[in-house]
Structure formats: structure tokens, C-alpha cells
Amino acid sequence: MLKMKDIIDEKDKRLRQVSKEVTFPLSKEDKQNIHDMIEYLHNSQIDEIAKKYDLRPGMGLSAVQIGVLKRYYVVEYEYEEGKFETYVLINPKIISNSVEQIYVDEGEGCLSVNRYVEGIVPRYARVTMEAYDEEGRKIHIRAREDLAIVFQHELDHLNGILFIDHIDKKDPYKNKDKMRAI
């Protein structure tokens, strides 16, 4: 089982590298990584398990965050109390997005950034993602609001970008009035 210590910190230079495209079929190692990442995220969102294993809660995790420079990430989305939807996106890209922008009102967070960062991160309110599933089949996912934010956050990781890079250093709340808080 993945532990917090397995997730690399923002000081690790690998987080600033662009991850490589994945080829199919997936290796045993990649399949295991995907399984472990899903397990971590699922357990991290269940209070008693998170406490027992000292897991920080997270909705998304990219391969680079566990030191694997490959273009895939997983999202464990709790759409209803105790009910989860699991997304595995391999070689993902945004193929369309809304004009409307949103931001997380209480601030975006990241399992690789172990501190609170003040400011807003502009994100598209809606995105359509194109990616591949674990079998190499092309998939399309339409996401909105918090799910869209997670997809964009994790895609940034694959491009060596952290959420803190989107926050204006001089004016952390720049253009707040032009976006909607969620």
C-alpha cells in the first residue's frame, strides 16, 4: 500500500519534468502503480482508514507524484457519501473547455505541496478529456466543477506544472471577480 512517504514533495526536481507518453500494453509495474494510486486515494478519503495509516486526503494522483515520469493519473471522486467513481486517464489531453473559469474557494491543495498556499488558481469550469483506459481504448470524459478542476490539476503535473505556478505572486487574488468560486 502506498504511504504518504511514497509521494514526492515539491522540492523534488522530478515534479518539474514533462512525463513521457505511455505505450500499450501497460507494463506490470504501471498496472500495479495504478492499483496502488487508486487504493491510496480511496483510503485517504475514508476518515478511519486515513487516520489509521496517516494518509492526507486526496482526490487525484499522477504517476510523477510517485516518481514515475509517465503520462497517467487516477482520480477517486466521491460523488455521494461513501460512493466513489474511479477514473484512470492515460496519455490525457483536454480537447475542449468552457470559457467560464472557476476556482476553489478555500484554495487548491496538492499531496506534493505540504503547506497551505494562499491565492486562487484559475481553472475551466468544464472540460472534455480525451485519454486511454488501461486496455488502450480511447475514452472521452466530460467533467465539470470540482471534477474538472482535479483533471486539470493532474494534467498539469504531467507537464511539470504545480498549482502554485498559477497563483499570481504579487496579487494572489488577481481576477477573482471574473471567476466563480466553488
Residue 66 one-letter amino acid: I
Q: Is 108 a catalytic residue?
A: no
User: Which residue among 78, 130, 145, 154 is the active-site one?
Assistant: 154
Strand spans (E) along the chain: 60-62, 72-80, 83-97, 101-103, 123-124, 126-132, 138-144, 180-181
HSE-CB for 22 with a 13 A CA cutoff:
30
CA–CA separation, 127 and 96 (whole Å): 6
For residue 173, CA distances in Å to 9, 107, 154, 176 come to: 25, 11, 22, 6
CA–CA separation, 112 and 93 (whole Å): 22
Report whether 147 contacts 77 (CB < 8 A). yes
- Point out the residues that are catalytic: 154
